[in-house]
Amino acid sequence: MEEAAAIAASAHRLDGAQVEAALSLLEACATNRAKLVITGVGKSGIVARKIAATFSSIGLMAIYLNPLDALHGDLGVVAPEDVVLLLSNSGETQELLEILPHLRRRGTARIALVGRVESTLARDCDVVLDGSVDREVCPLNLAPTASTAVAMAIGDALAAVWMERRGISPQDFALNHPAGSLGKQLTLTATDLMVPVARLAPVLRNAPLAEVIAHLTADGVGACWVAEADRGDRIHGLITDGDLRRALQQHGPEHWGQLTAAELMTTDPITVQGDILAITALEQMERNRRKAIAVLPVVDGEQRMLGLLRLHDLVQAGLTRGTP
């Protein structure tokens, strides 16, 4: 509760003009394809790492710079067009003060996020964000607690407003989160998850039952596609394990030897384009649940066969039906 109160108080304490100036620097940083360099020592360093990770995840290149390493060569990662955000509760952190002349000499913009706006660090920066607190939550009023919560909240607020002003969309966000559920839903396509046609030998319309079963068994996909005799790269039909079972039930054993692929297949099966999102393909399968669609042929713009997309692969990829 005390930390929440400190964050609420900081919202009233911040200078709106300074916040706008900080956002303008961040906007210029993105426009110039520059980066945000964030630095701090101790607990402030941990907060700095988190803020850097947040900005990187929303599309602004950001890195954490260890102040001690910076003084021994790593300052070379800072370019004149970059923006440096320096975190210090006291505003007198020696390692940060030693960096300042070198940043100033490069002409690099500097934002101070400090607990004392009259500190040495604040006086030597272009923009000052007030992260002060009345007291720490620590009983001794010593351990960084409320102050780190406020600094992190200010960093998050800057990131949130920057996202809004840049018009960052869920699709933009997903590009930097490809392994997450949202990233998979907004980036994975049918082509990414399908079994490619190179692994799927087609059968012709007149292929006998034994040949169809051999294809179903050999490919291990649970389906095989039927090609037109004169246009071998176009799909003419699809045969699944279910199609095979239904055909055998419909025709007596005495007729099994006469069955061909043409009598087993589903003609004009539902297909999807290779560039369709995999989650959309999954929703098509769900909408056609009555037909128990577990395999979709994937084709290109000219209806040439690209592969087969299986429900099993969509589920294994971690996709779920519905809006992310």
Q: What is the pLDDT of residues 28-52, one digit of tens each?
A: 998 999 999 999 999 999 999 999 9
- For residues 146 and 287, membership in a common domain is answered with no
Domain annotation covers residue 51: yes
Can you read off the two tokens belonging to residue 128?
Answer: 């000052």
The alpha carbon dihedral of 195, 179, 312, 295 has a sign of negative
Asked whether the whole model's pTM tops 0.85, one would answer no
Domain containing residue 277: 190-316
- For residues 286 and 226, membership in a common domain is answered with yes
- For residues 155 and 210, membership in a common domain is answered with no
Query: Any idea which of 36-40, 83-87, 248-252 has the lowest mean pLDDT?
Result: 248-252
Residue 205 CA to residue 202 CA, distance in Å, equals: 10
CATH number at residue 273: 3.10.580.10
pLDDT-derived band at 230 (thresholds 50, 70, 90) equals: low
Closest CA to 109 of 202, 40, 208, 37: 37
CATH number at residue 86: 3.40.50.10490
Closest CA to 29 of 121, 146, 162, 127: 162
Residue 200 CA to residue 298 CA, distance in Å, equals: 12
Q: Count of domains in the chain?
A: 2
| pLDDT at residue 100 is higher than 70 | yes
Residue 109: strand, helix, or coil:
strand
Contacts of 222 (CB under 8 A, 6+ apart): 216, 240, 241, 294, 295, 310
- For residues 109 and 8, membership in a common domain is answered with yes
Mean local confidence (pLDDT), 60-74: 92
Domain annotation covers residue 174: no
Can you read off the two tokens belonging to residue 281?
Answer: 């393909």
| pLDDT score at 284 | 82
Q: What is the average pLDDT value for the chain, to the nearest integer?
A: 86
| pLDDT score at 97 | 96
Domain annotation covers residue 85: yes
- For residues 124 and 206, membership in a common domain is answered with no
